[in-house]
A and B are shown apart, each in its own frame.
Chain A
């Protein structure tokens, strides 16, 4: 997946630190003896993965363990890329004393940067790491129509500077019951589905005008006075230029159709999230080549919009040709973000191919949120985010044995 990424690079300090490390002997770890599942290719029985200074440097059956490497014995276990949760609000809760972590004063707040509210020390972040999840797309909840700019974060960063893999990762939008309820209660726009679509249109049209003014200014060789910068319209202008992805959270089929209409109207590069009733309009989604991050599996308490949820949703979408990832989204999804593999397992039970489901919580998820070049599979050159399970991660009795993030063992039960 090609994507304009503005990967947050380590600051001066980290560079200095890295320079310091280079002088020291390289940190080499070899994981051997396990079943290596790179997810980008076929599984390797009794394979070896070599990590050098936080990066994967070799993966294969006949890879020699370098001299001086510290060895992790994965015998009997499955070695996978660290899991990727493509949709969570972890680390944002507690933002407001009550309710979802949204800026509930206004339905349209694209100017919010999730990174400004993300608390890497949130206890739940640690719980995800213990479950083998090393990367997540953190987004605001679904109350606002335009909720802000999500960030892809490393859940067990090697240094606090390295929290963000990608920020902003896109713009988060919601259609349907979320905004309708949050603002309907206050008798404010958008108390209806129509209102929500209007909020999106109005904001995007304003952004188009803003974008035009800036382009005019650029075209004049910056001779005309620069327009005033507007932090709310800037990300939307980038959305219109296809430089940011629209992550649209919808559940009901009619809301999905509204989303598709907006995508057509403004030619957005979009990813759908949630998408409970996606199977009803799978053809429409597939035709537009819009990927979907599937949330609710129809297990556990049903919410208003997940009445129709079923475990076959992901499979139906995939059959129709839609690229599918799977999330654990707290509120509407499986309800426990650390049970991400279980969500994938349910999708398999519903008919999704095992390897597609695994990719849906690793490589595909990473690609959809814009960090497919950094994480999500076991390939030389990628960040050494690795989780060793006692067996197939989608099997309910499998447990986490070791979690490695950026080449460091961060969890061993």
Chain B
């Protein structure tokens, strides 16, 4: 039986922490914000005379938007500015919904490492350690989130207001969370006990179950090959099916005591039930096909993460009803390569094709969003999206992918992702078009609160 070793907390402490998190979430932004209001300076803003790209309809060329208490109160061409609002003259500025980066591990503290046990007595001990490392369906990114991660400032400066934080690692990595890059001041009352501060960033958790096949690293324990890693994941889903089907767990009388509780197998259930999407890392067309085959086998609702070869398999993606989180960490020539070293044509072709893939997905009407993944500079996120636009992706489609479609994929489209009355006021205000040459981010709002932007 596996015990939870996260942060060294006792199970009791953890349960408490989880409860608090849940309370904070359930109470919702409204409550949190109301509490915060007292402490903070103006909570009503208006941006006037700006071009407003709503992602929910046509752009409003000379519009006004009013934010109050964290929400969008009004938006339109003929909206009057309330007297208590701090006003920003939007002349020459464009307002977009806050951008959503659908994949990074930035802002997370490292999950508990599973090293091969020192002086392991038996093979079994080593195999168990390996299994624990690869089967972490129950690992929640939200629980790894640092409070006020300093890395988020640079995301904000690039216009990114929400990110899907994804547990690092390989195998069945755990569940992602959609989080804002900033949160207001602490509510005065709650909290001497737990880390509710990080919870205030969370928009939704869990969002999706994340898988990646890579059996290559690690120590000498099953699996060490790609074939093995895939077989491992398939077996884990079969185990979860058997786990659920246990007569005792089904509450059948006379079935005896239920077998041991397994958090990882519990955590796979929503994915098997189809109520939680499963995000599978897949780059090449071959990998994407493998991922879709896995989704078919277990009736999962698949999201392909990476997607470099997605344009070759649009028909398969369409047939599977899959969405794509496309990596804007475009492949580059490895630095370790000698200047005159040859590379396979396929690699070169893939590299040249990388910015064209989103346009192909858009033409095929496959829902997609973008992820920064390994990009070191968050500003490159928008720059690389602009490259996709230059390669044929309509700018409106690019905006949707960066905002409302991402929100939809994360299941928060009701409250985030577009500029509409009643939605959370996550905004980015730029001088010049977002996909133009060097757009300047002038203002960023998260939950109606302007963030200080350090260049």
By a beta-carbon cutoff of 8 Å, the part of chain A in contact with chain B is 11-13, 16, 95-97, 101-106, 109, 111-114, 116-117, 119-121, 123, 140, 148, 160-161, 186, 188, 225-232
Q: Determine how close the nearest CB of chain B comes to the CB of A151; give it in whole angstroms.
A: 11
Q: A106-B222, A188-B123, A225-B247 are in contact. Are A114 and B286 (CB under 8 A)?
A: no
Q: Which of chain A's residues have a CB closer than 8 A to the CB of B344?
A: 123
B285 is an interface residue with CB less than 8 A from chain A: yes
**A228 and B242 in contact (CB under 8 A), knowing A13-B316, A109-B222, A111-B235?**
yes
Q: Check B319–A12 contact: CB distance below 8 A.
A: yes
Interface with A: B14-22, B226-234, B425-433, B434-442, which one?
B226-234
CA distance A161 to B313 in the complex (A): 10
- Say yes or no: B319 contacts A105, CB within 8 Å: no
**Closest partner residue, chain A, to B315 (CB atom):** A13
Tell me, rounded to whole Å, the shortest Cβ–Cβ distance linking B138 to chain A: 20
Contact A96 B224 (CB under 8 A): yes
- Known interface pairs A11-B316, A121-B346. Does A102 touch B286 (Cβ–Cβ under 8 Å)? no
Given contacts A97-B216, A160-B286, A229-B241, 4 further A-B contacts (CB under 8 A): A116-B231, A228-B238, A230-B235, A231-B235
> Given A121-B346, A160-B289, are A105 and B224 neighbors across the interface (CB < 8 Å)?
yes
- 9 closest A-B pairs by beta carbon, nearest first, are A228-B242, A117-B227, A112-B227, A13-B315, A105-B222, A103-B228, A111-B231, A116-B230, A229-B238
Q: Which residue of A lies closest to B309 (CB)?
A: A160
B240 shortest CB reach to chain A, Å: 10
Q: Is B290 an interface residue (CB 8 A)?
A: yes
Q: Which of A116, A186, A226, A231 contacts B220 (CB 8 A)?
A: A186
What 1/0 mask marks residues of chain B from 312 to 324 whose CB sits below 8 Å from any chain A CB?
Answer: 1101100100000
Please list 24 pairs of residues, one from A and one from B, whose beta carbons are closer than 8 Å in the complex, sorted by A's number. A16-B315, A102-B225, A103-B227, A105-B221, A105-B223, A105-B224, A105-B228, A106-B222, A109-B222, A111-B231, A111-B235, A112-B228, A113-B231, A117-B225, A119-B286, A121-B284, A121-B346, A123-B344, A160-B286, A225-B247, A226-B242, A227-B242, A228-B239, A232-B235
Report yes or no: B316 in contact with A104, Cβ–Cβ below 8 A: no
By beta carbon, the residue of chain A nearest B316 is A13
Please determine whether B231 and A225 come into contact, CB atoms closer than 8 angstroms.
no
Bound-complex Cα distance A27 to B242 (A): 50
In whole Å, how far is B302's beta carbon from the nearest beta carbon of chain A?
A: 15
A413–B246 Cα distance when bound, in Å, is 61
Q: Which of A116, A161, A227 has the most CB of B within 10 A?
A: A116
Closest to A118 in B: B286
Q: What B residues does A113 contact at CB under 8 A?
A: 227, 230-231
B246: A residues at CB distance < 8 A: 225
Determine the distance from Cα of A232 to Cα of B319 in the docked complex, in whole angstroms: 30
Contact of B227 among A97, A114, A121, A188 (CB under 8 A): A114
Contacts of A186 in B (CB 8 A): 220
Q: How far is the CA of A194 from the CA of B378 in the complex (A)?
A: 59
Q: Which residues of A contact B230 (CB under 8 A)?
A: 113, 116-117
